[in-house]
Amino acid sequence: MSDSDRTAASLEQLLDRVERRQTTVGVIGLGYVGLPLALAFHESGFPVLGFDIDSGKVDQLAAGGCYIDHLDGARVARAVASGGLAVTCDFERLSEADALLICVPTPLDRHREPDLSYVEATARQIGRRLRLGQLIVLESTTYPGTTEELLLPILAASGLECGREFFLAFSPEREDPGNRDFAATVIPKVVGGADEASSRLTAALYRDVFQQVVPVSSTRAAEATKLTENIFRSVNIALVNELKTVYEAMGIDVWEVLDAAATKPFGFMKFTPGPGWGGHCIPVDPFYLSWKAREYGLRARFIELAGEVNVEMPRYVLGKLQDALNDRGKAVRGSRVLILGLAYKSDVADPRESPAFEIIARLVELGAAVSYHDPLIPEAPAMRTWPDLPAMKSVELGEQTLERQDAVIIVTRHSAVDYALLAAHAALIVDTRGVYRQPAANVVRA
């Protein structure tokens, strides 16, 4: 039997095991992406083994707990209790999984360049234990070329051949934390393999869990797909943020304009302005492509300009605060300022890359006494990007708290907040989210 015949026979055996749900799926990284993915595979009948370096997370999951607020904790408890979802910090067990799905962070470093240290470290852990017939899929968002330029050489150093003895693909995560309209398995799954066999095997695996699988020609095309989605959002967020500043200078209500424009049934998609950008994707992913473009002697000008506009938004908000306080005969120094919302978007307990932290940091530098209220985040977490922020806990949003403040800045629009109470008792509100549509003496839009 030729090598190609043996490869075909091996692939058919693997595909048969996938079809019969006998494939053990390993998920590396049990965060906002990895844990929902592990649950989806478990609930589709696959045995699942979850890996994480955080022993606290593993212990909590093993005890039937859940640290992600928008996930149903009962789902996690049932999955673990059934024995169908096991969790561990022991990476020696990587060889137990037939498919390993990598869902680890891909942040930017302090120079706003890609930090692939988590991906590389994970690949090296896998490479030391790689065995015949395993499928490796990277889900972490990254620049085109990462799967084949970084992962493939590390895995191939095992002596096994990609496409014949092990398989490799990229399938970008498309999670939207807190979005109840689109569960993980409803969102179409893009799949790109390093070779035809890897593509076929990966598509078959995901097709058993996701309602739709979208195969593309390569890992690079799949990597570029995810970046394109997030760059689209980044550019449009920057556009409406810039329109906000221009229309404000003209005395035009940007929220009214956007609502009116959104009535057009074609050719327009509504984005809303705010105090900046946040989350695990939008402030990070576009810079992966602009960084990679430099390798080809190109400059991604739209991406970079959108970044500049969005990064400037917290300063714009603070400028509006300073002007409003000055009009009231006050300085920022010594003023009591309440930040309303730490989360990066409405009704989630996710503070990653939230503009609230930059606003807090700059207010502290200016000498303000800063507090915050967020009904979903009782204690401000330590932030890698802002390591020097003071420890803070959410304060109660009552009449007395509001009346003690010189200003309140609405950073996140949570539905659980009583905005009528806020309007009645706050001396000054800096509204970055269009909460108050009618003019009021104590409301300044930013």
Distant-in-sequence, close-in-space partners of 136: CB < 8 Å, separation ≥ 6: 99, 100, 102, 126, 130, 151, 155, 166, 167, 168, 169
Q: Residues, the chain, total?
A: 446
Nearest of 229, 163, 155 to residue 190 by alpha carbon: 229
The whole-angstrom separation of Cα 94 and Cα 97 is 6
**Residue 370: strand pairing partners:** 337
Determine the Cα–Cα distance for residues 223 and 142; give it in Å rounded to an integer: 6
Q: Which distant-in-sequence residues (6+ apart) come within 8 Å of 34 by Cβ?
A: 27, 28, 50, 52, 101, 103, 139
- Name residues whose C-beta falls within 8 Å of residue 382's C-beta, 6 or more positions apart in sequence: none
* Enclosing H/E stretch for 137: strand 135-138
Annotation says 281 is catalytic: yes
Q: One of 66, 103, 162, 281 is an active-site residue; which one?
A: 281
Determine how many CB atoms are found less than 10 A away from the CB of residue 207. 16
Q: What is the DSSP string of 98-111?
A: SEEEE-----B-TT
Q: Which residues are catalytic?
A: 281
